[in-house]
Structure 1
Amino acid sequence: MRYRLLGSSGVRVSELALGTALFGVAPTAAEATAFVARAADAGINLIDTANSYGNQPRFDREGVPAAAQRESAEEIVGRAIAGRRDEFVLSTKVSEPVGDGPNDGSYDGGGLSRLHVMRLVERSLRRLRTDHIDIYYAHRPDPLTRIEDTLATFDLLIRQGKIRYYALSNYPGWRLAEAVLTARRLGLHEPVCHQIRYSLSRRDPEREMLPAGRHLGIDTVVFGALGGGLFAGDGRFRRYSGGARWGGPGHSAAELALAEHVVACSERWGTSSAQVALAWALSRPGIASVIVGPESVAEFEELLPAVDLQLGPDRIAELEAPAGPAADAPRPTAGSAPAR
């Protein structure tokens, strides 16, 4: 495993990070501790979770206990890292809905109010069995809360020692710039990184998000680089693939055609489509780490060689050749609800 600096923080994070959105489903809660241990053995030191992962109905599947009977992903992660907390850079997120109350977070706003953040950070700390969170993400923008109030709240949490850094997730480029410039104007801590969905099939961040991050000196952490299983070989044909992993639609015909192209390239190059898709993401400028969410240890093992796969300019051009339209895909709206 190789490590990259996370912006100007001085913190080094593994090129691959362990995503936990499906913890409690795949892998099951019983399997998760061994899963985390294997990731640590492979050199992964960045674990990514959220207070809305694991035990929400959007993750329900046949043969798995219903959401109300499942633990949260944070609880499962907390148990899995017990006794080895300092081996990991632990990140979690706040703002998505975690209840039905008027101040329980929302996809449409209110989840980054001082009231909500201060309540939910305490719950996350308890579930994670730790006294601090290394990276605390604003899971998505909150149009109902002044950015000054949200940033001041994160700054307060840093000064209280409850979080070490804060970061942003799913922010369009202009909102990312607004947050960074506001923090600088007010003399507050700046976000340490930005997390976005980015893959060969979803290249729209190249228009605005990635250039904004590079201009502002904010590194990017990527999720969805495998397209929800699209580039994971036969994984694209599973029932729970693509957006279906979290209650959305499966893959489109155009996405499946792109996957066939990536599979054909990877077979000629003597590797797997999953490794190629991850290596492509890691080759993009400004990327600090790529989150993977394999559903079994066997799938995890198959992904690890991606960090040693170097794609030259000719191979990158060949991979990207049919992907032009994807780069012009419409941006998600502020109220959309991707898995991360």
Structure 2
Amino acid sequence: MKYGRLGPTGVRVSQIGLGTATFGVAPTASDAAGIVSAALDLGINFFDTADVYGSSPTFDRPGAPPSSERASAEEILGRALAGRRDEVVLATKCGERRFNPDAGLSRRYVIRQVEQSLRRLGTDYIDLHYAHFPDPHTPLEQTLAVYDDLIRQGKLRYVGLSNHPAWQLTEALWIADGARLRSGPVCAQVKYSLLDRTAERELAAACERFAASIVPYAPLHGGLLADLAVLDRRISGDQRFGGTGFTETEIAVARELERLARVWGMGMQQVSLSWLLSRPAVASVIIGAESVDELQANASAADVQLTTEQADAVSALTNAGH
């Protein structure tokens, strides 16, 4: 496993991080422990979760326990890390409003959710806490002030922004600097892949300018950039979340990527993740895994380094439309 630096913190994080959005569903709670253990054995030290993961209705699937009866991803991850907590960089989030109109980034809500996350994770500190989504009802000054209080109390080490645009990251850093807070955002977590390069329009430049990291999620675009077999599934892509699934353009790009990977003697996921890790400001990519085999296949991307010519060939597949 190779490691990157998380923004200006000096903290080393594995270039492949393990996401837990569907823990409790796929993988099941019992299987998740084995995946976490395998991740640690592979050298993965960066684990990503959120207060709504696993037990949210978003992740309901046929045959899975109802969301109201499932353990949360934080609880599952906390149990799986028991005895090895200090070996890892643990990230969680709060602020998603889809299923809770009272959610957001107010002082009251953030403090309550951090306390609950600490309990569910079975730890007395969180390495990295993200503001999960922008909150138009709460000034950034208030959110950053409460984060500063929680850092001073030793409950948090660093903070990040998730799904925030570049201008809000910049504003947050200015606020933190002007108020002399202990930590402004050290990273930005966003959806980012070969098929979704929105982050390159403004966010990547802002992160480079201010020494913050990008931590992409959905780097394999629902599995399409890992294995074309996902096209045979009854539900694929964002259909699970009510979307329309993969477009013909996306499928065409994936087929050409698969051809390049075959020529180069690599797996699609290796090419996709290695390309993303070569992009400016990217420190680590968050992958999901439903099995140990899938985890191992994705983690192997950290051992692959594309040549400049190969990276340019991959970029060219979507350069016109990103």
TM-score, with length taken from structure 1:
0.91
Deviation at 1:76, TM superposition (A): 0.6
Q: 1:170 to 1:72 in 2, by over 3 A?
A: same
Separation (CA, whole Å) in 2 of partners of 1:255 and 1:203: 13
Separation (CA, whole Å) in 1 of partners of 2:239 and 2:286: 18
2:215: which partner in 1? Answer: 221
| Residues 1:121 and 2:114 are matched in the alignment | yes
2:236: which partner in 1? Answer: 241
| Alignment of structure 1 residues 1-340 onto 2, 5 Å | 1-97=1-97, 100=100, 102-103=101-102, 105=103, 111-188=104-181, 189-237=183-231, 238-327=233-322
The gaps in structure 2 that reach 5 residues or longer are: none
- Is contact 2:228-2:254 (8 Å) kept? no
Deviation sequence 1:227-254 (CA, Å, 0-9, x none): 1111121343123432234443321111
Match of 1:229, SS?
A: coil
Deviation at 1:50, TM superposition (A): 0.3
The count of aligned residue pairs is 320
Separation (CA, whole Å) in 2 of partners of 1:239 and 1:162: 43
- Is contact 2:25-2:64 (8 Å) kept? yes
Separation (CA, whole Å) in 1 of partners of 2:249 and 2:47: 32
- Is contact 1:52-1:98 (8 Å) kept? no
- Is contact 1:52-1:97 (8 Å) kept? no
- Is contact 2:228-2:255 (8 Å) kept? no
- Is contact 2:169-2:185 (8 Å) kept? no
Deviation at 1:95, TM superposition (A): 0.2
Deviation sequence 1:271-294 (CA, Å, 0-9, x none): 111111000001112111011102
Match of 1:192, SS?
A: strand
In structure 2, give the amino acid aligned to 1:297: V
1:338: which partner in 2? Answer: none
Identity %: 50
Deviation at 1:20, TM superposition (A): 0.3
Deviation at 1:325, TM superposition (A): 4.3
- Is contact 1:133-1:162 (8 Å) kept? yes
Deviation sequence 1:178-213 (CA, Å, 0-9, x none): 001111011112112111111100012111111111
The gaps in structure 1 that reach 5 residues or longer are: 106-110, 328-340
- Is contact 1:79-1:128 (8 Å) kept? yes
Deviation at 1:99, TM superposition (A): 5.4
Deviation sequence 1:18-56 (CA, Å, 0-9, x none): 000010111110101111000000000000000011111
- Is contact 1:196-1:223 (8 Å) kept? yes
Q: For the aligned residues, what is the CA RMSD? A: 1.4
Match of 1:256, SS?
A: helix
